[in-house]
Chains A and B, each alone.
Chain A
């Protein structure tokens, strides 16, 4: 278990819940749940990353879809970037599936490297939300689209 990542995850989740608007709060809760589910899926068997991680793959796809929906609805730019990074993680599984000789640590790196920028982007989104609140005293959560 990577305590550095867990520490960052907790800090970003608490910050998002305390200082974020509705999209930020949904994002940190979804991401924390997804990270925990991934941890459980990897703990459930021995020798993680040696073959295609089906459980993690499914979790990654569900998380990607959730963030893509958030990106389409929320009046924010950051979920677009987070969705793209999550999508890259999901593509990493396909890489493992196609390149069967992929060494386990490379597979693990390709999947987990995106977690850090994702947390950073959500934290930055929360910070920008606070800045808009300070400047305009109001910050829309969801986009309204002209029919």
Chain B
């Protein structure tokens, strides 16, 4: 039933709700869409009616939860890319939403640093260190092996 309701949202309403999900007020949303704050309110109120909720944040959450079912590569939470959403609708099988507790410390996929706790950030520091140290070690070992091979081949030829 929620799926039917969400399907009835217009693209403009979806865009507004995505901004609401990013904690933006109507006044902040309006310049991004080139419309008046009053019109943003109208879109959000209409979306709330369609979804049958009395709270704009609840409406935004519903849409966000729904859209998190779409594969990550196909959907970016940043509103700027929402245009590409409209062009290629994606077929998907609804699966239970998966809670992603760990987020990659990169400013992509719409993640914000505040989604990582201080300790998670520190853990990331050490994880990246280990990964780099390992990659560096493998790289050096590879060069070492190649140079040994080169020397062996050179000896064989002489």
Contact = CB atoms under 8 A, between A and B. Distances in A.
Contacts of B105: 77, 80-81
Given A74-B113, A128-B107, A87 B129 contact: yes
Given A71-B121, A72-B122, A91 B114 contact: no
Contacts, number: 52
Interface of B is mostly: helix
A145 B118 contact: yes
Nearest to B28: A136
Contacts of A73: 118
A82 to B, nearest CB: 9
A83 interface: yes
Q: How large is the interface on A (under 10, 10 to 19, 20 to 34, 35 or more residues)?
A: 20 to 34
A50 interface: no
B41 to A, nearest CB: 20
Interface residues on B, range: 20 to 34
B95 interface: no
Given A74-B113, A143-B114, A145-B114, A68 B122 contact: yes
A76 B105 CA distance: 9
B158 interface: no
Nearest to B114: A143
A69 B8 CA distance: 47
Interface of A: 68, 71-77, 80-81, 83-85, 87-88, 91, 128, 136, 140, 143-145
Interface of B: 28, 105-107, 112-114, 117-119, 121-122, 124-126, 128-129, 132-133, 136
| The 4 residue pairs across chains A and B that have the minimum distance between CB atoms | A84-B128, A72-B118, A143-B114, A83-B125
